[in-house]
Amino acid sequence: MPLATLTLPLRGTIILPGQIRALSVGRDATLDVVERHLDTQKLLVLVPQEDAAEEEPLRARLLTVGTAARILHVTRLPDDTVKILVEGDRRVLRRTELKLTGEVLVADYDELPAPPREQLHEIMAMARELAVLHDELAAAQGLTAEENDVLTAGEDEPDRLADQVSASLILSWEQRVVVYQEASLMERLRVLLDLTAVAVAQQRVQSDVAAKLQASMDQNQREYHLKEQLKILRTELGDAAGPEAEADAFEARIKELKLPEEVEKEALREVSRLRRISSDSAEYNIARTWLETVCDMPWNKLTQDDTSLRHAQDVLDEDHFGIEKVKERVLEYLAVRQLRKDAQGAILCFVGAPGVGKTSLGKSIARAMGRSYARVSLGGIKDESEVRGHRRTYVGAMPGRIVQALIRAGTRNPVIVLDEIDKVGNDFRGDPASALLEVLDPEQNKAFVDHYLDVPIDLSQVMFIATANLVDPIPPALHDRFEIIEIPGYTEEEKLAIANRFLLPKLAEEHGLPGGRMKFGPGAMESVIRNYTREAGLRNFSRQLASVCRKVAREVVEGREGAVRITPRAVEKMLGPPRFFNEIDDRDDLPGVVVGLAWTESGGDILFIECLRMPGAPALKLTGSLGDVMKESAEAALSWLRAHANEVGATQEDFNQLFHLHVPAGAIPKDGPSAGVSMVTALASRITGRPVRPRFAMTGEITLRGKVLPIGGLKEKVLAARRAGVTDVLLPKHNEKDLAELPAEVRKAMTFHLAETIQDVLRIALVP
């Protein structure tokens, strides 16, 4: 039934049925309501304001739903405020507009209607679900099941259950207003179900996070206690090496090394980072390895250069026989260093055939200067990171080969040999030769940055020496930084001297034959050189001598007494049939056969050029795996002979046939212009029927004008001719100056003929 009653506006507070709350009343309008209620004992309705910030209750917008309540107790305070204790009885719905009577608000209210019968089953089901969710929420908040049963209504009291659930949820003012003023019980339960489900989900997440946090804290505390126990145990055992101790050791070592300012700053920053990382972390090992590399670098270690020219000469002569040009260049470098300590010499690049001693020469230079030595093998590398190092972010990162060489050398001014620099390749991983440009440039390598260390490194005091078999594969920009010194092959006399002074004593010691247990007789060593090796260097020669030493060692073990004397016949017995023979002696002295000279990566070599003439259509057939340049030389030779047929004693009819030029060893590719004089001589010899002089070889390029042009690799070619038994060599006139580079014994043993024109070639080479 309708109730006309006093209305008490509430600001920011909601009183639910069944709740007992203490309220402070201080606003004039609300004090008047309380006084009127105490005087008349009329029913009091507590209605919340929509806007909790409104100070004036008579101007505030009030909800349409309120709570009929009784005042249980009133306490008047000295500051003219009143504290009342109220108890909510039931919800009521305002039926009329609020009226101001005197200084109080009055309105008519109705009790909320009971839910329809058809909604009761759904309401009870929703109440059961809400009770289950609320039980879970209460348990998560710390209430026991017994406490929750006493404090919370059951599912059979859905209205009271809804009020108690809404009171226990943590909601915003707007959410509380929405729940409170919902007149329909079913809708109120639906809203509370949604809000309670969200609260339960949040509570589950918070519980999971709290559980994980607690587990993590327990684990960290356990690790802390274990580490402290481990530290105590290590101390008791005399082993105080742990993460903290390692960081302290690195810090002390860094300060003791007196690193460059920038390097020290970065290293100390890494030590500070090391202290914060767990020793079980992968980052810990990365930081530790980096610090070890920095501390191993020879930042301030220098060796004093020994610039004594006499000492250097003695060391070079002791280690190497011959190669006077190289020794002279090293002595010049030392002389400049003696006059000026900070002189930046050129970067030497030794170019020569395999086995001539390029790499060992770098080691001898280091010993002559009193410097440490390191070797960097560049053959076949294609990754730029091999030179500059890998970034620390990569798995298995390590410094580049330059930094590794410095660490091995142990000083900042070693001699570093860049071996096989002509074998450097490039692919999608970068060009190592480009990275070497910075390393080998004195203007840039003062602050070389390795990607792994990522700090500047001074390479200006390092003496770099490069080695290569060929000059052509070296990139032009890199070639420009080198002073090329060519190391030619050895003569037979030089090989004999090297074998007696260096190789044989070393091999005898390695094979357990000291004290003269093995002696080479006259001609034995020469037999090994001529019949079993044919190379510019010494490697294969050393292998053959080692094979002889093994045979002798076996004889000694089997009971051979006294010294074993090696004769040419014994050499053949030990090493088998000769592998090489004198092709000059075996060739037929027939017209059309000429001995030419060629240059190869392994030094010089001889090649035979054979010519046949047969009936057929006029043509020139070329075989022997010849390159384009060599084919063009043959065509030029035939054209010149046809144009000068009368001068060589031939007629035009002599050229109306098929000529076949062949260069034996057809499986080996051959190319180059220096076979021009050999081809024109072979054709002229076949046409005129005049054979070439015996033991005669030649080299030179020809032109259609009949000129003989100079060639390269003269020393290698002449030495190859001598090894083959040639006594006379025809050379271009312009190569006369190069004869000074030949060893004196070669110039003495051989006769050299100089030619300017093809007429000179034919006059000198062909038998009259």
- Catalytic residue annotation: 674, 717
Residue with tokens 């390092």: 462
Give the number of other Cβ atoms within 10 Å of residue 587's Cβ.
15
In contact, 487 and 351? CB cutoff 8 Å: yes
Q: Give the alpha-carbon dihedral of 533, 539, 543, 549, to 10 degrees.
A: 100
What beta strand segments (E) does 420-573 contain?
Answer: 448-449, 456-457, 463-468, 482-487, 518-520, 564-566
DSSP line for 362-406: HHHHHHHHT--EEEEE-TT---THHHH---TTSTT----HHHHHH
CA 268 to CA 291: how far, in whole Å? 9
Burial of 248 (0-12, 13-18, 19+ CB in 10 A): middle
In sequence order, what are the beta bridge partners of 92? 66, 111
629: which 2 tokens?
Answer: 């340049």
Alpha helices by DSSP H, 41-184: 120-140, 145-151, 158-168, 173-180
Token pair for residue 317?
A: 């002569």
Distance of CA 318 to the CA centre of its chain: 41
Query: For residues 597 and 577, what is the distance between their CA atoms, to the nearest angstrom?
Result: 26
Give the DSSP letter of residue 640: H
CA triple 370-374-376, angle to 5 deg: 150
Among residues 723, 760, 698, the alpha carbon closest in space to that of 536 is found at 723
Angle subtended at Cα 690 by Cα 685 and Cα 693, rounded to the nearest 5 degrees: 90
Q: What is the C-alpha end-to-end distance of the chain, expressed in Å?
A: 154
Q: How many residues in total does the chain contain?
A: 768
Pair type for strands 463-468 and 347-352: parallel
**What is the token pair recorded at 277?**
């990382």
CA torsion, ordered 525, 531, 536, 538, to nearest 10 deg: -40
Q: Which of 620-651 are b and which e, b meaning 16 or more Cβ less than 10 Å from the residue's Cβ?
A: bebebebeeebeebbebbbebbeeeeeebebe
Cβ-contact 463, 345 below 8 angstroms: yes
Question: Radius of gyration over alpha carbons of the chain, in Å?
Answer: 53
Helix, strand or coil, per DSSP, at residue 207: helix
CA distances from 211 to 197, 205, 219, 272, 518 (A): 21, 10, 12, 32, 85
CA distance 766 to 531: 30
Cα(503)–Cα(537) distance, integer angstroms: 13
Burial class (CB in 10 A: 0-12, 13-18, 19+), 495: buried
Q: Measure the CA–CA gap between 176 and 168, rounded to whole angstroms.
A: 11
78 to each of 23, 81, 136, 184, how far by Cα in Å? 16, 7, 45, 43
DSSP 703: -
CB–CB of 473/422 below 8 Å?
A: yes
Residue ranges in 20-157 assigned as alpha helix (H) = 28-40, 120-140, 145-151
Rounded Cα–Cα distance for residues 708 and 733 (Å)? 8
Token duo for residue 757: 């024109």
